[in-house]
């Protein structure tokens, strides 16, 4: 179900869920009416008409027996047949759009996305006025994976098949993967490792495809007992990264072959976490992936579990600094305080079952390690007596002074014995 994001999750971060340059689907139209749209998104509505014309023209050029008008008629008929099923994917109470406008929206939005995938990159830039050029592709990549900015993927498949009769749904998925720059993922990986395993015939929408590639298929998953959802008795980590350091726990960047990984492990007092880059788009991408997982159990809770784990570790700027020094975090948004704020606020309103997720065993091992008497004693010692550099310097000075005092005493005793 493609529903509106609840206010408890939105939490004064509306911009992270709203499109920058293009509206897809019914939710970002005033009152749900096709012609009523935010002025800043209006230009792309005009471009959608041009892309629809380009798509029909290109399809007609590839087939001598039909005209572009025939292609448009075929698209319209095919989409109308799917419109009822498409409407069921949305929350009816969240928008008010008549059937005719809804079908037009599916045709315009779907055709734009299909033609955008075909044009791609440099060719597409020629279609954008100069004032929209700056970051246009970045904004489109962002907007097309917003939770409230989706249309069913079967609409894209339907339009694509109307234009390219010899094609199949695999081709449109390949085009989508290329556009989203998910080059590590292939159709074969999707069909073998996700669709067949989960008995799913197709992608639900673009954000679903992005989630499958960015989260579900992220490699490596880890040890077998951690890769599946098991039920264990556990309590979440109550200590931050800085506090865990006081328990003698070290942090290390995990070396993985893939650029996308959530394989967190704990062994011999060392937490290994794959590198993560915190950039301008991070908050928007993370929030919309979380909204997807929160919307339906069918999407799992892997990404939610990962983000909650990072939120447990990060509370203050000191925690960010610690993880940055260990090359786990790469801060590209500004101050360490901003990173801490981003991680803390992103988890507000999330529903998370602490006993049912892929990191349960990691939590248990960390809590068990911190619960050992020797580690508790060490943490108390570090917190109470070594909480600042001046304390350590003072202790070092005392140790040096004590050493010299002992040496002087020894020499005094020896000298006294020699005199006697």
Contacts of 243 (CB under 8 A, 6+ apart): 379, 383
Pairwise CA distance, residues 50 & 127, whole Å: 9
Q: What is the pTM of this model?
A: 0.82
Q: What does the pLDDT read at residue 336?
A: 94
Q: Cite the DSSP H helix spans in 347-388.
A: 360-370, 373-385
- Which tokens is 35 given? 């012609």
Q: What does the pLDDT read at residue 52?
A: 95
Please list the ranges in the chain whose pLDDT falls under 50: 220-232, 379
CA dihedral in degrees (344, 288, 350, 339; nearest 10)? -10
Q: What does the pLDDT read at residue 404?
A: 76
Q: What does the pLDDT read at residue 9?
A: 78
Q: What does the pLDDT read at residue 395?
A: 58
CA dihedral in degrees (211, 286, 353, 261; nearest 10)? 60
C-beta separation of 333 from 282 below 8 A: yes
What are the C-alpha distances in Å from 206 to residues 143, 149, 216? Answer: 10, 9, 14
Pairwise CA distance, residues 234 & 231, whole Å: 9
Q: What does the pLDDT read at residue 201?
A: 62
- Per-domain boundaries in the chain: 7-180, 224-371, 378-411
């Amino acid at each position: 179900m493609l529903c509106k994001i609840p206010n408890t999750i939105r939490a004064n971060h509306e911009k992270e869920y709203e499109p920058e340059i293009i509206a897809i689907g019914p939710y970002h139209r005033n009152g749900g009416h096709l012609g009523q749209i935010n002025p800043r998104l209006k230009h792309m509505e005009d471009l959608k008409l041009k892309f629809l014309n380009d798509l029909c023209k290109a399809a007609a050029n590839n087939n001598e027996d039909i005209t572009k008008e025939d292609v448009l008629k075929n698209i319209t008929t095919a989409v109308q047949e799917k419109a009822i099923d498409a409407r069921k994917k949305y929350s009816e109470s969240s928008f008010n759009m008549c059937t005719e406008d809804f079908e037009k929206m599916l045709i315009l939005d779907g055709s734009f996305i299909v033609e955008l995938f075909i044009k791609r990159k440099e060719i597409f830039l020629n279609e954008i006025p100069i004032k929209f050029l700056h970051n246009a592709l970045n904004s489109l990549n962002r907007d097309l994976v917003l939770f409230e900015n989706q249309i069913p993927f079967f609409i894209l498949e339907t339009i694509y098949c109307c234009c390219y009769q010899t094609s199949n749904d695999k081709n449109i998925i390949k085009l989508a993967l290329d556009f989203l720059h998910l080059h590590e993922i292939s159709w074969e990986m999707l069909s073998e490792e996700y669709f067949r395993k989960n008995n799913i015939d197709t992608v639900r929408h673009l954000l679903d495809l992005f989630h499958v590639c960015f989260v579900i298929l992220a490699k490596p998953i880890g040890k077998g007992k951690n890769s599946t959802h098991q039920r264990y008795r556990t309590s979440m980590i109550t200590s931050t990264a800085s506090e865990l350091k006081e328990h003698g726990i070290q942090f290390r960047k995990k070396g993985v072959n893939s650029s996308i990984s959530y394989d967190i492990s704990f062994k011999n007092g060392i937490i290994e976490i794959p590198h993560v880059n915190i950039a301008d788009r991070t908050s928007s991408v993370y929030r919309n992936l979380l909204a997807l997982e929160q919307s339906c159990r069918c999407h799992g809770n892997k990404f939610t579990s990962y983000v909650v784990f990072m939120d447990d570790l990060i509370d203050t700027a000191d925690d960010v600094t610690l993880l940055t020094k260990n090359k786990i975090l790469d801060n590209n948004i500004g101050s360490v305080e901003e990173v801490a704020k981003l991680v803390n606020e992103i988890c507000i309103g999330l529903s998370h079952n602490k006993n049912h997720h892929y990191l349960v065993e990691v939590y248990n091992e960390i809590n068990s390690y911190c619960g050992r008497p020797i580690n508790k004693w060490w943490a108390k010692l570090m917190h109470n007596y070594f909480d600042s550099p001046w304390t350590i310097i003072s202790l070092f000075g005392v140790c040096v002074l004590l050493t010299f005092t002992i040496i002087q005493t020894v020499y005094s005793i020896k000298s006294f014995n020699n005199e006697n």
